Structures are given as C-alpha cells and as structure tokens.
Amino acid sequence: MLLQFAHDRTEAAIQIAAKILKQKGELSISDIKAIPFLYNSQEVASVIVYLISNLHGEIYRKKVSSQPISRWEQFIRIKQ
C-alpha cells in the first residue's frame, strides 16, 4: 500500500511536470524539486528520467541572473 502511494505521487508529479514542459518548452530542475509531494531525490530523479526518455528532453544549463556572481540553473527542454 505504501509503495503504491509513492508510485501515485510520482505519477502525478510526472503528469504535472510533463504538462508544464510541453506548454513552456522548458522546466528547471529546481521547479521539479519544488513539487511538494515528491519526498526524496529518487522520486525527483524518476520524474527527470521520464521527461528525458519519453518526451525526448535534454538537460542544459542556463544563466538565470547576472548579479556580480552569475547564477546558473539546470533546465530540461524538448529536443528540436
């Protein structure tokens, strides 16, 4: 039962992340980590692997601020 609950949470997170990725064209890894019902890094990794595998995504780094020390984040985008 507990395993099924974890699977259901991960499946829901995959659906949410996939919808955002399809609509926006990119999604940050930080946004995936911020999904409130993903409890551990294994669940986050499962979502990332799904997006890369099933939606033909790729991970890239993008500068998100230009403060004195630039901040870079990892994003997933759908390959062109």
CA 24 to chain centre: 13
Both structure tokens of 9: 């949470």
Kindly report, residue by residue over 3-54, the tens digit of the pLDDT.
676 678 899 999 999 999 999 999 999 999 999 989 899 999 999 999 999 9
What pTM was estimated for this model as a whole? 0.86
Tell me which fold the domain 2-78 belongs to. Arc Repressor Mutant, subunit A (1.10.10)
Confidence grade of residue 2 (pLDDT, cut at 50, 70, 90): low
CA 3 to chain centre: 21
In the chain the beta strands, taken as DSSP E runs, fall at 26-28, 57-65, 71-78
Burial (CB count <10 Å: 0-12, 13-18, 19+), residue 19 = exposed
Nearest to 19 by CA among 80, 72, 78, 61: 78
